Amino acid sequence: MKTQILLFSLLASSFISAQQSADSLIINKNTIKTNLTAYAFRNFNLTYERSINKTIAVSATFATMPKGDVPFLNSFVKEEDREDIGDIQLGNTAFTLETRFYFGKKYNSGFYLAPYYRYTNMKIDEIRYNFYTYDEDTNVETNNPIDLNGKFSAHSFGLMIGIQWLLGKKQNWVLDWWLIGGHYGFAKGDLAGKTKYALTPEEQQDLQDEINDLNIPIVKYEAHINANGGTVKLDGPWAGLRSGLSLGYRF
C-alpha cells in the first residue's frame, strides 16, 4: 500500500511539473523589445514578438525619428561646407514585419534567421541646391540658392541574422543582438524647391538643362522648372542595413 501511495505521489508530482512547464511556455509567448542602440540616432522604436512554437516567431516593429538635424552629420561634412548643403532636417517612420527561425536549444533563443518586409516613409527639408546665374552685361555670377523639401516612401524586403539570449531566473528577460541585416526594394518621392529670386525664362531653361545633366545613377527623375523653382519626381531602388542590440521582456 505504501508503495502504491509513493508511486501515485511521484506520478502526480511529474504531472504537475509537466503542466507547469507547459503553462510557462504558453504564458511566455509574448515579448516586447526596444532597440537600445537606435536611440543614439534619435530613433524611438518598439517591437512586439509572438512565438508560434519553439523555433518560429513573428514580430512587428514600429520606429520613428522626429524631424531634426541629420544624426552625426558633422562627422562626415565639414563645418565650412554646411552652408553649401543647407540646414538639412530629416525625419522618418518605418514599419517592419518579420518572421524568425530560431536554432537554439531553448524556446525562441540562440542563433536565428529572419526574413522581413519594411515600409519606410521619410521627410527631408531644407536641402540647398546652389544655382549660379551669370549676367553678361555686368560679368557677375550670382548664386540663386534653391531650398528643397520632399518626402519619400519605400517598400523593401530583406534578411537579418542574429542571436537571442533568455536571461534571469525565469528567463523572462531577452537580449537580442541583430548581427547584420540588409534589405532592398524600391522607392518613390518628390522634391519641391523655391528660389530666392524669380527666374527669367532663360534661367529656367538653364536650370532645367543643369538638372537634366546631373546623370544620377540608377535613379529615374523628372524635373519641372518654373519662375519660382520647381519640382523633381524620383523613382528608383532603395536599400538599407540593420544592426543593433535590443532589450526585451517576455510575458
Look at 119 and 17; give whichever has higher pLDDT. Answer: 119
H or E stretch covering 104: none
In the block, cell 504537475 appears at: 16
The answer on pLDDT for 6 being more than 80 is no
Measured between alpha carbons, how far is 38 from 30 in angstroms, rounded to an integer?
22
Quick one: average pLDDT of 103-132?
93
Measured between alpha carbons, how far is 104 from 165 in angstroms, rounded to an integer?
9
Residue 78: its pLDDT value, please? 73
Which pLDDT band holds residue 27 (cuts at 50, 70, 90)? low
β strands within 70-219, DSSP E: 89-102, 110-129, 132-135, 140-143, 146-167, 173-195
Look at 122 and 141; give whichever has higher pLDDT. Answer: 122
Look at 13 and 66; give whichever has higher pLDDT. Answer: 66
Quick one: average pLDDT of 179-187?
97
Residue 16: its pLDDT value, please? 41
Residue 80: its pLDDT value, please? 64
The answer on pLDDT for 212 being more than 80 is yes
Quick one: average pLDDT of 49-75?
92
- Which three-class secondary structure state does DSSP give residue 18? helix
Counting every residue, how long is the chain?
A: 251
Which pLDDT band holds residue 69 (cuts at 50, 70, 90)? confident
Residue 21: its pLDDT value, please? 46
pLDDT per residue over 32-48, tens digit each?
A: 999 999 999 999 999 99
Quick one: average pLDDT of 71-79?
74
Instruction: Please tell me the pTM assigned to this model.
Output: 0.80
H or E stretch covering 241: strand 229-250
pLDDT per residue over 151-176, tens digit each?
A: 999 999 999 999 999 999 999 999 99
Q: Which triple of cell numbers denotes residue 131? A: 544655382
Which of 45-49, 113-117, 182-186, 209-213 comes out lowest in average pLDDT? Answer: 209-213
